């Protein structure tokens, strides 16, 4: 810790006996902030172990597929089924925050916008699942997909081909 902030805290301690409160120094160095989070999982692991499985369930739970019996609806048909996809959407919401953590975020610019976009798409999906609104749920899935591809386009362009196959 820089000497200055140590002094400031000491000063706060002294003055604090007289005044009602004293706020901590405003700026913490980024290494101090990072120490509060465990970011052992790298972005690739977070993608393949946390975000992708949850997103896959969302995509597999919306729309229709053509099979031997004709068009089959993929949407959940029970309250439990909707609760389950809502929980997957909650993972997507939080994955947005996980990506934005110091130590994972690749910059303080577009990366943060895509991470926030991920959370927002997850919220849309959660709300749609809560309302059991198929149309809104399908829209949320599309929104989610466009956030994945936009971020990959910027930060890891070769991933897009692989993810497209997954989403099909
Ligand atoms: C904020 C940016 C960002 C968002 C949003 C994002 N990704 Fe990624 N993703 C990356 C980066 C960067 C990599 C490459 C990581 C590496 O190889 O180090 C990656 C890699 C992947 C991989 C390959 C992982 C591996 O094992 O190599 C998959 C699968 C993936 N993402 C799925 C998704 C899905 C599905 C979504 C949306 C639901 C998504 N990603 C959203 C940045 C993002």
Q: What is the pLDDT of residues 115-150, one digit of tens each?
A: 999 999 999 999 999 999 999 999 999 999 999 999
Ligand 1 pocket test: pick from 148, 160, 164, 165 the residue with the most ligand atoms within 8 Å of its Cβ: 148
> Which atom, in ligand 1's list, is nearest to the CA of 99?
1
Q: How far is the CA of 37 from the centre of ligand 1 (A)?
A: 20
> Which atom, in ligand 1's list, is nearest to the CA of 167?
35
168 residues of the chain, pLDDT tens digit each:
444 444 444 444 444 444 444 444 545 555 555 568 999 999 999 999 999 999 999 999 998 888 888 888 999 999 999 999 999 999 999 999 999 999 999 999 999 999 999 999 999 999 999 999 999 999 999 999 999 999 999 999 888 766 555 554
Give the closest residue (by CA) to ligand 1 atom 19. 44
Q: Give the pLDDT of residue 8.
A: 46
Interatomic CA distance for residues 121 and 124, integer angstroms: 5
99 with 118: CB under 8 angstroms?
yes
Q: How far is the CA of 12 from the centre of ligand 1 (A)?
A: 45
CA 15 to chain centre: 42
User: Look-up: residue for tokens 């439990």?
Assistant: 80
CA triplet 119, 121, 126: central angle to 5 degrees? 90
Q: How far is the CA of 155 from the centre of ligand 1 (A)?
A: 9
Q: Give the pLDDT of residue 20.
A: 45
């Amino acid at each position: 810790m820089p000497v200055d902030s140590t002094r400031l805290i000491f000063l706060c301690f002294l003055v604090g006996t007289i005044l009602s409160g004293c706020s901590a120094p405003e700026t913490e160095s980024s290494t101090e902030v990072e120490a509060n989070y465990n970011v052992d999982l790298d972005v690739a692991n977070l993608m393949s172990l946390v975000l992708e499985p949850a997103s896959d369930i969302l995509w597999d739970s919306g729309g229709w597929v053509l099979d031997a019996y004709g068009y089959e609806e993929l949407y959940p048909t029970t309250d439990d089924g909707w609760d389950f996809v809502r929980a997957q959407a909650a993972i997507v919401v939080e994955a947005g925050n996980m990506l934005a953590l110091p130590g994972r975020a690749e910059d303080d610019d577009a990366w943060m916008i895509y991470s926030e976009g991920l959370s927002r798409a997850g919220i849309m999906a959660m709300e749609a699942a809560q309302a059991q609104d198929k149309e809104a749920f399908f829209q949320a899935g599309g929104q989610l997909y466009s956030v994945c591809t936009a971020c990959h386009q910027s930060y890891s362009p070769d991933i897009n081909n692989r993810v497209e196959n997954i989403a099909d």
